[in-house]
Amino acid sequence: MSGSPNNVRAGRRTIKLTHPDKVYFPGTPPITKRELVGYYAAVASAMIPFTKNRPAMLQRFPDGISEKGFYQKEISNWFPDWIPRATVPKAGGEVTHVLINDAATLVYLSGQGCITPHLWLSRIDKPQHPDRLIFDLDPPGGFDQARRAARLVHELLEQLGLASVLMTTGGRGMHVIVPLDRSADFDTVRGFAREAAGLLAARHPETLTVESRISKRRGRLFLDTTRNAYAQTSVAPYAVRARPGAPVETPLAWTELDDRGRDPQTYTLRTVLPRLKRRDPWRDGMHRRQNLRAAARRLADLAAGD
């Protein structure tokens, strides 16, 4: 992070920080606003390719995570004019979202107490056509349960001829993400995801479920595909989560899945940056563009055979 203690240089802009020593994450030592902003300045080049041109929902904690935070969709009227934005329809009206298209915007938002940016699964030029499909794996039984479920999802997707990538959530769970070519709309993508999850749950009824009611799950991992819908969001890669220790939503290579040295606290604001100097774990997966037509036929054949 360049600049004076109260000013941060990001690209061609200088962002002024107010109260830079405000504690955002209690601890020993605590994490201040200055450190959070410095992290986002350092990680911007890795994040922006995944955030660019996606409407963002901001999870803000202006007084740190010890106080109640809030989610914000509509851009604040005091945000500077240079912040990119896009207006999209919603039920009964419209909403203007921030677009995190450059380092300066990312740095400015973190200075406003945005600890975690959440992103649409589609880009603003084709808002009804996602370029990613997400399986959200939130285990009731701990991280190893998510690890096993991620392996099963990955194996099914390979059977269907689809490449996928893996990401920790900064909590107990994982996301398995399928990059798409934007030829299918949300209804099609969500339907495919539900059918795939249903097949997996039928194959592994003791460990996996598509039951939305918690009382019916009985300790099984819920294969959550509900994010695959218009205006739903997912946490940005490399975003900090508003949890003790400042864990980070971290892309992994599939070869890292079974590394028992990794757990939800492995990668934090203070430990994840060295990964960015090494090979991109998503280089061979996230940049592919795939359609679901052939995969949907294979899925139907598998379901009929099972």
- HSE at residue 86, side-chain half, CA atoms within 13 A, is 21
- Written as tens digits, the pLDDT of the chain (306 aa) is 455 568 888 989 999 999 999 999 999 999 999 999 999 999 999 999 999 999 999 999 999 999 999 999 999 999 999 999 999 998 889 999 999 999 999 999 999 999 999 999 999 999 999 999 999 998 998 899 999 999 999 999 999 999 999 999 998 899 999 999 999 999 999 999 999 999 999 999 999 999 999 999 999 999 999 999 999 999 999 999 999 999 999 999 999 998 888 887 889 999 999 998 887 888 767 878 899 999 999 999 999 987
To the question of pTM greater than 0.85 for the whole model, the response is yes
Residue 51 near residue 117, CB atoms below 8 Å:
yes
Residue after which a domain boundary falls, among 120, 142, 169: 120
Backbone angles phi, psi at 182, to 5 degrees: 70, 20
- Domain extent, residue 88, equals 1-120
Residue 138 near residue 146, CB atoms below 8 Å:
yes
Residues 173, 285 within the same domain: yes
Q: What pLDDT does residue 161 have?
A: 97
Residue after which a domain boundary falls, among 57, 86, 120: 120
Q: What pLDDT does residue 5 have?
A: 67
Residues 91, 135 within the same domain: no
CATH of the domain at 211: 3.90.920.10
**Residue in 22, 34, 99, 28 with CA at minimum distance from that of residue 64:** 22
**Spatial CB neighbours of 218, under 8 Å, sequence gap ≥ 6:** 209
Residues 113, 130 within the same domain: no
CA distances (Å), origin 222, targets 75, 90, 111, 120, 234: 33, 28, 36, 22, 17
Residues 113, 158 within the same domain: no
Residue after which a domain boundary falls, among 87, 120, 153: 120
When divided into structural domains, the chain yields a total of 2
Residues 208, 265 within the same domain: yes
Residues 114, 182 within the same domain: no
